[in-house]
């Protein structure tokens, strides 16, 4: 098993991105899976590393990364030591990050005859699901798409008109991280960037444009993202399959840190459904 952790993707005039790759030397002609974490997430959260090894052992080149403004740093990629970066994140930055990671994958593995960079599947969890839906509508390199507990709309998450006015007047609003107890900032630029790119960031219209196969996975006990959002994505898509995981929460009954040597039965079911879908 080849595992490379914390590869630094340096970029001109942009924050660097940390990338992990997982793949088996024994298995030939591996297609690529790129995983996008969600809001207040990171590539090493919970069971994501264990999940990555499952995909690698099943014959895929699995790539995961930290969005450049997720709040982690190059030297401290877990949790949120850089709240200033977190406050300056927005959806178009994440789309830009994903594009640069896809470019890196194609360049990094171009001389590896056992990795097929012409077959790229995207997996996005929660907010990352919205990002991969948007990206798949505008990038023909993606061949399969999987959403996990995905959001179906960004606009509604900014709150009421009164809340947005207060946000503008204060220039920042704070969200409490229930696990770390940090007060995590969102600068008003987040909303400004959304309004400036509202057409591009419309998940409904993007999903209607996607013609590649989409697998939509959602837990029926998800209290963070309502299962109706999975139904929305399924209804908008012309080529989707919806899988409901019984008794699964937003992170498929895992947590952080995840100290068990096995995936939860719910996340194991997710991995199995994804492998069946891609293969």
Q: Dmax over Cα atoms in the chain, in whole Å?
A: 58
DSSP strands (E only) in the chain: 2-11, 14-23, 30-36, 61-65, 115-125, 142-148, 172-176, 183-187, 214-219, 240-245
pLDDT at residue 26, rounded to an integer: 83
Which residues, 6+ apart, have CB-to-CB distance to 202 below 8 Å? none
CA pair distance 124, 130, nearest whole angstrom: 7
Tell me what the mean pLDDT of segment 256-262 comes to.
96
Residue 221 is given by DSSP the state T
Tell me what the mean pLDDT of segment 107-113 comes to.
95
Q: What is the pLDDT of residues 122-167, one digit of tens each?
A: 999 999 999 999 999 999 999 999 999 999 999 999 999 999 999 9
Neighbour tally for 78: CB within 10 Å: 14
Q: What are the CA-CA distances from residue 275 to residues 95, 146, 234 (Å)?
A: 25, 11, 19
Does the CA dihedral 20-24-27-28 come out positive or negative?
Answer: positive
- Is the per-residue pLDDT at 263 higher than 80? yes
- Is the per-residue pLDDT at 118 higher than 90? yes
Residue with token string 């069971």: 47
Q: What are the CA-CA distances from residue 102 to residues 9, 34, 265 (Å)?
A: 11, 8, 30
**pLDDT band at 96; cut points 50, 70, 90:** very high
pLDDT at residue 28, rounded to an integer: 83
Residue with token string 């919806």: 242
Residue 220 is given by DSSP the state T
Q: What percent of the chain has pLDDT over 70?
A: 100
| Choice among 23-32, 39-48, 63-72, 162-171 with the minimum mean pLDDT | 23-32
Q: Which contacts of 9-12 are long-range, i.e. CB under 8 A and separated by 24 or more positions?
A: 9/65, 9/100, 9/101, 9/104, 11/100
CA pair distance 34, 123, nearest whole angstrom: 6
pLDDT at residue 33, rounded to an integer: 98
pLDDT at residue 252, rounded to an integer: 98
Domains of the chain and any CATH numbers: 2-155+201-278 (3.40.50.1820)
pLDDT at residue 19, rounded to an integer: 98
Q: What is the pLDDT of residues 211-248, one digit of tens each?
A: 999 999 999 999 999 999 999 999 999 999 999 999 99
Q: What is the pLDDT of residues 28-46, one digit of tens each?
A: 889 999 999 999 999 999 9
């Amino acid at each position: 098993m080849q595992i490379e952790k914390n590869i630094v993707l340096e970029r001109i005039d942009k924050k660097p991105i940390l990338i992990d790759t997982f793949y088996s030397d024994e298995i030939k002609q591996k297609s690529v899976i790129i995983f996008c974490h969600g809001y207040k997430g990171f590539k090493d959260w919970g069971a994501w590393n264990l999940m990555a090894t499952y995909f690698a052992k099943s014959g895929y080149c699995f790539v995961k990364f930290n969005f450049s403004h997720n709040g982690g740093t190059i030297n401290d990629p877990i949790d949120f030591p850089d709240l200033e970066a977190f406050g300056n994140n927005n959806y178009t930055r994440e789309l830009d990050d994903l594009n640069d990671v896809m470019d890196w994958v194609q360049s990094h593995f171009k001389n590896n005859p056992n990795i097929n960079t012409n077959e790229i599947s995207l997996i996005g969890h929660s907010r990352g699901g919205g990002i991969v839906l948007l990206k798949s509508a505008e990038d023909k390199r993606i061949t399969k798409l999987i959403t996990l507990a995905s959001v179906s709309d960004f606009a509604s998450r900014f709150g009421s008109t009164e809340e947005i006015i207060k946000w503008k007047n204060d220039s920042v609003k704070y969200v409490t991280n229930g696990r770390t107890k940090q007060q995590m900032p969102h600068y008003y630029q987040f909303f400004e960037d959304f309004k400036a790119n509202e057409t591009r960031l419309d998940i409904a219209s993007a999903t209607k444009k996607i013609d590649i196969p989409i697998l939509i996975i959602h837990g029926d006990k998800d209290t963070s993202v309502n299962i109706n959002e999975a139904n929305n994505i399924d209804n908008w898509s012309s080529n989707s399959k919806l899988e409901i995981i019984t008794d699964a929460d937003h992170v498929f009954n895992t947590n952080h840190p995840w100290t068990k040597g096995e995936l939860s039965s719910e996340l194991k079911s997710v991995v199995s459904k994804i492998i069946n879908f891609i293969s």
